[in-house]
């Protein structure tokens, strides 16, 4: 896969926000990216199980409001909200960890749509070590795959392990570190978390 890494990194707007859920402090990791397709097609690409498997992972379960889903070898959860073709919300359950993901879609003129993904998680020791990039980098790799798929290219699962892929991961992690610092975290702390995240994803 040949992509301009700088362009891919710059395609995403990154935001980190403080909040509370069920009386507990949480942080929200928010990634926004636009795609050259209509909202209806983008919605179908992120909700149709056959299409999801082509750019993300195979998914199974009772894929309707209130139903349970499971991504192969990854997280599962409950579908909390579904408003086609604009909004989807789910729990994100990986082992004992519970967090929440929402995806919002909006038209950006003829044949273009914007996706906003928000992953909200409790502040825990994992966050203290890795910060927002722990989930942010992973989601961005998924958004790259979605962009390839929508552009008619089969995503390459091995790309993240190439030098180009590792450069993207480092750039994404740095971006999440800057976003956390912009939220108000000490810059040295935020960038230290970003560096640990990059090393985790790239193997050093």
Between CA 72 and CA 185 the distance in angstroms is: 35
Looking at residue 3, its pLDDT comes to 62
- The domains located in the chain, with CATH, are 5-202 (3.30.530.20)
Residue 34, pLDDT above cutoff 90: yes
Per-residue confidence (pLDDT) for residue 110, from 0 to 100: 87
Average pLDDT of the segment spanning 99-120 = 96
- Whether 78 and 66 have beta carbons less than 8 Å apart is answered as yes
- Which residue, among 160, 80, 150, 167, has the nearest Cα to 115 in the 3D structure? 150
Q: What is the DSSP string of 52-96?
A: HHHHS--EEE--STT-EEEETTS-EEEEEEEETTTEEEEEEEETT
Phi, psi for residue 13 in degrees, rounded to 5: -95, 130
Scanning the structure block, which residue is given the tokens 């999440």? Answer: 176
Whole-number percent of the chain with pLDDT over 90: 93
Q: How far apart are CA 169 and CA 115, in angstroms?
A: 20
pLDDT above 70 (res 2):
no
Tens of pLDDT along 42-85?
A: 999 999 999 999 999 999 999 999 999 999 999 999 999 999 99
């Amino acid at each position: 896969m040949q992509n301009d890494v700088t362009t891919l990194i710059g395609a995403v707007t990154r935001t980190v926000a403080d909040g509370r859920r069920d009386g507990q402090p949480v942080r929200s990791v928010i990634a926004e990216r636009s795609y050259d397709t209509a909202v209806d097609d983008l919605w179908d690409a992120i909700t149709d199980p056959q299409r999801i498997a082509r750019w993300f992972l195979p998914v199974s379960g009772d894929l309707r409001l209130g139903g349970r889903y499971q991504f192969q070898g990854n997280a599962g959860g409950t579908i909390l909200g579904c408003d086609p073709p604009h909004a989807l919300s789910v729990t994100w359950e990986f082992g004992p960890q519970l967090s929440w993901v929402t995806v919002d879609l909006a038209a950006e003129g003829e044949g273009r749509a914007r996706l906003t993904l928000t992953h909200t998680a409790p502040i825990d020791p994992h966050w203290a070590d890795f910060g927002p990039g722990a989930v942010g980098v992973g989601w961005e790799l998924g958004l790259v795959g979605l962009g390839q798929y929508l552009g008619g290219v089969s995503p390459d699962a091995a790309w993240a392990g190439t030098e180009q892929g590792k450069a993207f991961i480092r750039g994404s992690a740095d971006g999440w570190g800057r976003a956390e610092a912009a939220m108000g975290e000490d810059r040295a702390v935020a960038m230290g978390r970003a560096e640990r995240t990059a090393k985790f994803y790239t193997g050093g």
